[in-house]
Chains A and B, each alone.
Chain A
Amino acid sequence: MSFALASLAMLALGAAFGAQAARAGFSPTTSICLTAMALLQAVVAWLAVCSPAPLFLALFALAIGASGLSFLQRGSVRDVLSVGGSLAGVQAAVPMGGMVAALLIPVLAGWPRQSGPLRHAGLYAILCFLPVLAAVGLACFARLGHSSLLAALHVFPAGALPSRHVPSRIIRVLMNSASLIVLAPAAIAVRRERAAAFALLVGVALVTASVAAALIGAIRHPAGLVAPLAATALLAVCRGANARAAMAAAAAGLVLAGAYVLAVPYAWAM
């Protein structure tokens, strides 16, 4: 069951990454290389966590990033529905999804393009509607004893840890925060389009939510974050970097992601 789900998620991720790279106008070789490097990071995360949950989280991160970018650029109803739907969906995937939504909605509503208090209130209302509805639905669902839909499907088992040793809260916070290093090359490479920074913000929001979860005592394997961060980094470089910078950032991201995943067990054992 888990493997079948993971395979499906991998296929979907491959298609989504490929579509993003192709849309950026890169050559087929560059597109394939970028897709392969991002997919490799997702696979690494999957193997490290022994659960397909990071793959789903990567899909949601990509959906939030792509629809959010589209919303900021065009602001059409389709974008509102997509971004609201993906922010609702990420809550269904992981408990920290609610925090991701809470962090990103003010960014989307407060982007400089918008103005006026009523417009602002209207934007908040239409952006918050689906995530709030999902939160209410999931709160009811949680009363049945499940932390999330994926947990209920046994896709993201609680406590999938690299060892039986549970590190201190500060180590968990530090390790979650350190995952941001995967985004660093993309952040440096993005020069072409300001809105592409939103994709990076999605990654930052995911890490922030993970850190907050660690602070309040949640115990999760931080290596799982590599998959969604790879997705947001790919999105950012596809929208905001030229081909050469994108390739360099993806390669650097892959190396850093590998190093980070290898480092987690050592930090976890501390």
Chain B
Amino acid sequence: MVSVDNFQVAKETALSGGKAQARAWPVRAPSPFPAPNAPVSLYLQNLFYPWRRIRGVPVVATADMSAANLARIRSVCGADVRVMPVERRRLLDRIARDHRDALLDEAVNGLWRHEPQFSARIVATRGQMLCLGASAAGFLAALALAPPPAIAALTLLSSTGYIANAAFRMGLVWMGASDRVWSAPPPALPDDALPLYTILVPLHREANIVPALIAALAALDYPPDRLQIVLALEADDRDTIAAVEGAILPPHFDCVFVPSGEPRTKPRACNYALQFARGEFVVIYDAEDRPEPDQLRKAAAAFRAAPETVACFQARLNFYNADKNLLTRLFADDYALWFDYLLPGLERIGIPMPLGGTSNHFRRAGLIAIHGWDPYNVTEDADIGIRLARMGYWVRTLDSTTFEEAPEKPRDWLGQRQRWLKGYMQTWLVHMRHPRRLLRHAGLLGFLGFQCFIGGTFAAALLNPLLWLLCLASLFMHGTVASFSLREFVGVTSLAGLLTGNSLLTYLMMLGPVRRGWLGLAPYGLAAIGYWLMISIAGYRAVAELRTDPWHWHKTPHGCASAA
């Protein structure tokens, strides 16, 4: 494994043109004297650390020699302390090493300890299992006792649900297309009014895109002295660490080494890295992301103009390799629909908004107040949006785009979609543990919207093949329901659901790229029926995996596409 100290020294040597000028951490072993009840977060936030006593005098190491920080150090550690300046990366590294277990415990178990009802560590409660089991048993009993009515009821429910899901999305698109969404961006802030911003970038097996990542982050139009970039590297991911080692990191980049362990998920790494964040605002970017250069400025201005209850802004996402093949084009249509219309639609109506996986801009205080991400949820982004809403915070959309890399191979796409659908199921199960509480927290509209948007997303994936199956099976059905022939009832009802639902959803896919002006992608939306069948495959695989391996994170490979 790469030594962290060697890594830091190598970086500093590279930065200083071969001469390591930064003050090294003293070689003598420390004997820290933690201030009473001082949490490790206090040291990380204020860049100081009680080091040792020298001839009875406590010595505190700090990377911030400002008068305000010195005063803070003296108020915490005592007026008689001696302060010793030290290089920031070394200080953080030392704190991380000394408090490894506490930091890791907070990252993995913080939410579980404080708000266990919101943690996906338990997939489904006993009550939920009983409900699901009773529903399945009831249906099977009905099927055995009176098959025609049971099949007819299943068809009617599936068809109605499928059409309702499509109609709900059509309504969201109408609301999201309003001129009032993104109509008046707040005025930009002058440089001296810009807040300290932290960018968290979790990296795992992404050595090949480290240079592009550093270039993309360096291209951001934000004063470096007000920017903290935290690369969260898995401690056992040698290749990525080596790639970062080989790069020349600007001074405002920090590397955090996330100790290996389970669950090996992105939210776990984010929670760990969040403890090192000092910015008033925090944003998550994926390794392959290319945010628009002015995104941080826009987000900072939006936060300043918004009330304190707005805890998060979600930027729009799309792909820089959309034109690669049919799959990436359909995915780009899907993403455009999702981020350009559906999420703004949710915002306008006031329905809790599931976040996208990246470019979520948070107020750090709000994020910490809800105990960060759920490391056991594989769509931690969707979950945190709902949790924010339940705790009285608002999420809004930001009119700025981050370009990502779309999976180009069906296998990669399928794995990613499987994880998303599994995560949506986790999120639904977590928040439906106490439906009355959800209703009280989110209100009736929010409650219904949650069912339609989170529940509807995976339910539609599961219903689509069921309707096809019922439609085909109706050809071989006999018997009657009320005064109808079962064959006609099931055939017509399932076909009506498929035609109406699929027509609406196809049209929505075609409309997705309109706001962006990518009209060339619109005709590909006509192939959406095949795309949904793939989503359905992912949906059924997700159901199976939720039972066997709920926290498994399907890693989407990146760095395969060339820049557009």
Q: Give A contacts to B, CB under 8 Å.
A: 75-78, 80-81, 116, 118-119, 121-123, 125-126, 129-130, 133
Q: Which of A77, A78, A121 contacts B523 (CB 8 A)?
A: A121
Q: Which of B179, B510, B526 contacts A76 (CB 8 A)?
A: B179
B471 within 8 A of A: no
CB within 8 Å of A: which of B473-529? 503, 506-507, 510-511, 513-515, 517-523, 525-526
Q: A-facing mask of B159-186, CB < 8 A → 1, else 0?
A: 0000000000000011001110000000
Contacts A75-B514, A77-B177, A81-B511 hold; do A133 and B503 have CB atoms under 8 A apart? yes
B551 within 8 A of A: no
Complex-state Cα separation, A219 to B54, whole angstroms: 108
Complex-state Cα separation, A81 to B522, whole angstroms: 14
Query: Which chain B residues lie closer than 8 Å to A123 at the CB level?
Result: 519, 522
Shortest Cβ distance from A76 into B: residue: B177
Is A122 a contact of B177 with CB atoms below 8 Å?
no
Q: Which of A75, A77, A119, A133 contacts B173 (CB 8 A)?
A: A77
Is B523 a contact of A125 with CB atoms below 8 Å?
yes
Sampled A-B contacts (5; CB under 8 Å): A77-B174, A78-B177, A81-B174, A121-B520, A125-B523
Is A129 a contact of B510 with CB atoms below 8 Å?
yes
A-B pairs, 8 with minimum CB distance: A118-B520, A122-B519, A122-B522, A77-B177, A125-B523, A119-B519, A78-B177, A77-B514
CB within 8 Å of A: which of B329-356? 341
The smallest beta-carbon distance between A134 and chain B, in angstroms, is: 11
Q: Which of A78, A116, A119, A126 contacts B178 (CB 8 A)?
A: A78
The smallest beta-carbon distance between B277 and chain A, in angstroms, is: 37
Complex-state Cα separation, A118 to B515, whole angstroms: 16
Complex-state Cα separation, A69 to B514, whole angstroms: 17
Complex-state Cα separation, A77 to B512, whole angstroms: 9
Q: Which of B173, B178, B179, B520 contacts A122 (CB 8 A)?
A: B520
Is B511 a contact of A122 with CB atoms below 8 Å?
no
Query: Which chain A residues lie closer than 8 Å to B507 at the CB level?
Result: 126, 129-130
Contacts A78-B178, A80-B514 hold; do A126 and B522 have CB atoms under 8 A apart? yes
Complex-state Cα separation, A61 to B522, whole angstroms: 27
Judged by DSSP, the binding face of A is helix
Q: How big is the B interface, by class? A: 20 to 34
Q: Which of B173, B341, B517, B519 contacts A126 (CB 8 A)?
A: B519
Query: Which chain B residues lie closer than 8 Å to A76 at the CB level?
Result: 177, 179, 514-515
The smallest beta-carbon distance between A222 and chain B, in angstroms, is: 35
Q: A-facing mask of B375-404, CB < 8 A → 1, else 0?
A: 000000000000000000000000000000
Shortest Cβ distance from A121 into B: residue: B523
Complex-state Cα separation, A126 to B514, whole angstroms: 9
Complex-state Cα separation, A80 to B525, whole angstroms: 15
Query: Which chain B residues lie closer than 8 Å to A121 at the CB level?
Result: 519-520, 522-523
Query: Which chain A residues lie closer than 8 Å to B503 at the CB level?
Result: 133
The smallest beta-carbon distance between B523 and chain A, in angstroms, is: 4
Contacts A76-B179, A80-B511, A125-B526 hold; do A119 and B174 have CB atoms under 8 A apart? no
Shortest Cβ distance from A125 into B: residue: B523
Query: Which chain B residues lie closer than 8 Å to A81 at the CB level?
Result: 173-174, 177, 511
Given contacts A122-B513, A123-B519, 15 further A-B contacts (CB under 8 A): A76-B515, A78-B174, A78-B178, A80-B514, A81-B173, A119-B517, A121-B519, A121-B520, A121-B523, A122-B520, A122-B521, A123-B522, A125-B526, A126-B510, A129-B510
The smallest beta-carbon distance between B246 and chain A, in angstroms, is: 40
Shortest Cβ distance from A118 into B: residue: B520
Query: Which chain A residues lie closer than 8 Å to B521 at the CB level?
Result: 122
Complex-state Cα separation, A75 to B179, whole angstroms: 12
Shortest Cβ distance from A133 into B: residue: B503
The smallest beta-carbon distance between A159 and chain B, in angstroms, is: 34
Shortest Cβ distance from A130 into B: residue: B507
Query: Which chain B residues lie closer than 8 Å to A129 at the CB level?
Result: 506-507, 510
Considering residues A80, A129, A133, which has the most beta carbons from chain B within 10 angstroms of its beta carbon? A129
Shortest Cβ distance from B525 into A: residue: A125
The smallest beta-carbon distance between A87 and chain B, in angstroms, is: 14
Query: Which chain A residues lie closer than 8 Å to B178 at the CB level?
Result: 78
Complex-state Cα separation, A81 to B517, whole angstroms: 16
Is A126 a contact of B520 with CB atoms below 8 Å?
no
Query: Which chain B residues lie closer than 8 Å to A118 at the CB level?
Result: 519-520
Query: Which chain A residues lie closer than 8 Å to B513 at the CB level?
Result: 122
Complex-state Cα separation, A126 to B173, whole angstroms: 14
Query: Which chain A residues lie closer than 8 Å to B515 at the CB level?
Result: 76-77
Shortest Cβ distance from B178 into A: residue: A78
Query: Which chain A residues lie closer than 8 Å to B174 at the CB level?
Result: 77-78, 81
Complex-state Cα separation, A123 to B520, whole angstroms: 8
Query: Which chain B residues lie closer than 8 Å to A125 at the CB level?
Result: 510, 522-523, 525-526
Shortest Cβ distance from A75 into B: residue: B514
Shortest Cβ distance from A116 into B: residue: B520
The smallest beta-carbon distance between B438 and chain A, in angstroms, is: 31
Query: Which chain A residues lie closer than 8 Å to B514 at the CB level?
Result: 75-77, 80, 126
Complex-state Cα separation, A116 to B506, whole angstroms: 23
Complex-state Cα separation, A119 to B514, whole angstroms: 10
Complex-state Cα separation, A123 to B341, whole angstroms: 18
Query: Which chain A residues lie closer than 8 Å to B506 at the CB level?
Result: 129
Query: Which chain A residues lie closer than 8 Å to B177 at the CB level?
Result: 76-78, 81
Contacts A118-B520, A129-B510 hold; do A77 and B341 have CB atoms under 8 A apart? yes
The smallest beta-carbon distance between B153 and chain A, in angstroms, is: 27
Complex-state Cα separation, A133 to B503, whole angstroms: 8
